[in-house]
Structure 1
């Protein structure tokens, strides 16, 4: 059970049809950047559910106007596509009416699934879904902003207890060069198992929703593939991360033909998780992956960087 601050509750209820009211507020687990709540509503038309995203951390509050306005625009755009995204209800990106910057949207069916069992089958579905996202026809005026790198050579911090400092130096040297040329695509930019909802049993699993569109960007397909691959390596082990690019290509996706270019994008993403990937582990452990300790994640991240250099350098 949870509650809503007074101003936010008033704003939500003003956005609802006459006679509809919030009957229950339930915190949703697994979020890191936002407070996520499911709102159970009741009214003349019966019961239904909405989701409220609110930025409360100072960093995200400062950037909320750009992030939430972008997500609202993207949800409107995706409403006319076959991508299973939420429908926008309302947004208050500057907290003019709410206690914190907030976005109200429909509730998608399904759950986040991070367990090792069935991970290969889910990775296939992830690859196919990502291909469909990258194929979305987006007119020039609808294009999101150009991607932003989430790390740089100066910001990479190797694990404190690494026994292979030379490995990290080699990896950082790869991203010191200018970014390779690329053909722009519509990117989710934060596509990974924690932002995808699944429905159905293991033998009939399907993607029922893709969430968290605040970082949507225009850039190389390799970068979206790289981000999901890094997450899979951390969640399920290095081989799972290495295979994802192959799954994406097998599903019809197109990646950089040049190994050096592909390696650049893969490492640009992976190095952003250094030194220990602890940030992503917090919501993952909240969803049941208690085995993902800082030590496990550091070992997997280092092993993944080594494997990428071994395969593509």
Structure 2
């Protein structure tokens, strides 16, 4: 989940009710005589609460990021999610992938008020505006290829991917005028997954989970965040998830171009178009029936144009385009 600093007056310091134990835990993890000067709520995610902690000590100032699961659903799954993210951050520390450095984790809230993970602050911001989206998509494709090429041992290999949709659970939007399109899409995933070559997947790779900074040569990726769903599976699935998000964020053509960008960057996808279509629809159907839910954090970051009707139209248009190209 990407994040951007809340511009309102912040009162979310860790002295508030329900955060005292978390503050004590964080301070025990700090070095020397460091202390928390300020906690700033970060926007752009909806699975967890994110805060930037500004620290001061004998060595000067620095900032960390605190992720805390507070919603009941995610609290129930926090042990697996945060343990996985902590493991992945340790692994990525020895690679060229721009990920945060792990500081500490309390996945079961043994010491904290809520299950929490403490990590370094990465530079950059989330960029979701349409202007410059094509150039950023090229950078996203190259970064995703690098992630998929990460060499991992059998012991380091993350869990096998979990599908976020199934034929029996898909609910088409109630207001759709195209029930046949949805049924056709559901029928495609009513099969065993295609045979595939597994690789290291981010599993939630999209523009909201990537940070950019500006250079003289244009924007560059300065960070990839939110590694709680990291998995082992087909590259097509990561490409599918980013493609769906791009279609919803910037329009159907943007989503349809991303797989080509990925292949041009050196990535490998299923040779059989029907196999690739399976992975693309498996991801897209996971956004039904209400694609607007992913727009909530995007609107917090300025994309107020992404209304419920826009998101619904783009998702159906994307399904149609997938059939036009791959069926």
Pairwise same-fold verdict (TM > 0.5): yes
**In structure 1, distance between residues paired with 2:24 and 2:199:** 39
**In structure 1, distance between residues paired with 2:261 and 2:290:** 26
Aligned Cα root-mean-square deviation (Å): 0.8
Residue 122 of structure 1: aligned partner? 136
1:59 pairs, out of 58, 62, 73, with 73
**In structure 2, distance between residues paired with 1:201 and 1:168:** 43
Equivalences for 1:96-175 in 2 at 5 Å? 96-175=110-189
Is residue 308 from structure 1 mapped to residue 322 from structure 2 by the alignment? Answer: yes
* Residue 18 of structure 1: how far off its partner (Å): 1.8
Residue 38 of structure 1: aligned partner? 52
* Residue 203 of structure 1: how far off its partner (Å): 5.5
Cα deviation, 1:117-173, whole Å, max 9, x if unaligned, reads: 000000000000000000000100000000000011111111111111111110000
**In structure 2, distance between residues paired with 1:199 and 1:294:** 30
**In structure 2, distance between residues paired with 1:97 and 1:164:** 51
Is residue 280 from structure 1 mapped to residue 294 from structure 2 by the alignment? Answer: yes
Q: Secondary structure at the match of 1:103?
A: strand
Equivalent pair of 1:198/1:208 in contact (CA under 8 Å): yes
Q: Secondary structure at the match of 1:112?
A: coil
Residue 13 of structure 2: aligned partner? 3
Q: Which runs of 5+ in 1 are unaligned?
A: none
How many residues in Structure 1 have an aligned counterpart in Structure 2?
313
1:190 pairs, out of 204, 209, 213, with 204
4+ runs deviating over 6 angstroms: none
Q: Secondary structure at the match of 2:43?
A: coil
Is residue 78 from structure 1 mapped to residue 88 from structure 2 by the alignment? Answer: no
Q: Secondary structure at the match of 1:28?
A: strand
Q: Secondary structure at the match of 2:37?
A: strand
Equivalent pair of 1:91/1:103 in contact (CA under 8 Å): yes
1:224 pairs, out of 226, 238, 252, with 238
Residue 215 of structure 1: aligned partner? 229
Equivalences for 1:223-262 in 2 at 5 Å? 223-262=237-276
Equivalent pair of 1:133/1:187 in contact (CA under 8 Å): yes
Cα deviation, 1:24-80, whole Å, max 9, x if unaligned, reads: 000000011010000000000000000000000000000000000000000000000
**In structure 1, distance between residues paired with 2:170 and 2:88:** 31
* Residue 275 of structure 1: how far off its partner (Å): 1.6
**In structure 1, distance between residues paired with 2:296 and 2:216:** 25
Q: Which runs of 5+ in 2 are unaligned?
A: 1-9
**In structure 2, distance between residues paired with 1:3 and 1:104:** 15
Is residue 181 from structure 1 mapped to residue 191 from structure 2 by the alignment? Answer: no
Is residue 89 from structure 1 mapped to residue 103 from structure 2 by the alignment? Answer: yes
* Residue 289 of structure 1: how far off its partner (Å): 0.3
* Residue 276 of structure 1: how far off its partner (Å): 2.6
Equivalent pair of 1:276/1:301 in contact (CA under 8 Å): no
Cα deviation, 1:215-274, whole Å, max 9, x if unaligned, reads: 000000000000000000000000000000000000000000000100000000000001
TM-score, length basis structure 2: 0.95
1:23 pairs, out of 19, 25, 37, with 37
Residues 300 and 201 of structure 1, relative CA distance in 2, 3 Å threshold: farther
**In structure 2, distance between residues paired with 1:151 and 1:203:** 40
Cα deviation, 1:84-136, whole Å, max 9, x if unaligned, reads: 00000000000000000000000000000000000000000000000000000
